[in-house]
Amino acid sequence: MERCPACNAEYKGRQFCHRCKTDLSLLLDIENRAEEHLEQACSAFELKDYENMFFHAKRSHSLLSTAESQKLLASAALLVKKFNIAVSLTCPGTD
C-alpha cells in the first residue's frame, strides 16, 4: 500500500493512517495473505504441482491484483490447460 485509501495520505507503515486515523489493518492483512499465496504458488511451481500453483495464483490475484500476480496466474492457467483464463489475462477484452 502506497497511500491511504480514505484520505490519500502517504502510507507510513503503521496500522492507522497518520492523517485521518483510518484503521488499515484489514487491508494490510489482505496484502499479506495475497503475498503468502503468491509464495505458495511459486513453491508449487518448483515442485511441479501445477494444480496447486493455479489454486494459489488464483487466490493471490483475487486478493490483490498486481502485474506479478496476473503473470503468475496466466502461467499457471497455461500449465493446467485453462487456456481461456490465460488468454483473458493476457489479452483484455477477449472474455
List own/partner pairs for 61-66 with CB under 8 A and 24 or more apart: 61/34, 63/30, 63/31, 63/33, 63/34, 63/37, 64/30, 64/31, 64/34, 64/35, 66/34
Q: Which residue has the higher pLDDT, 92 or 5?
A: 5
Domains and CATH numbers, the chain: 37-90 (1.25.40)
pLDDT for res 94: 58
Amino acid residing at 12: K
For 61-89, what is each residue's pLDDT tens digit?
A: 999 999 999 999 999 999 999 999 999 99
* Residues 61, 77 contacting (CB under 8 angstroms): no
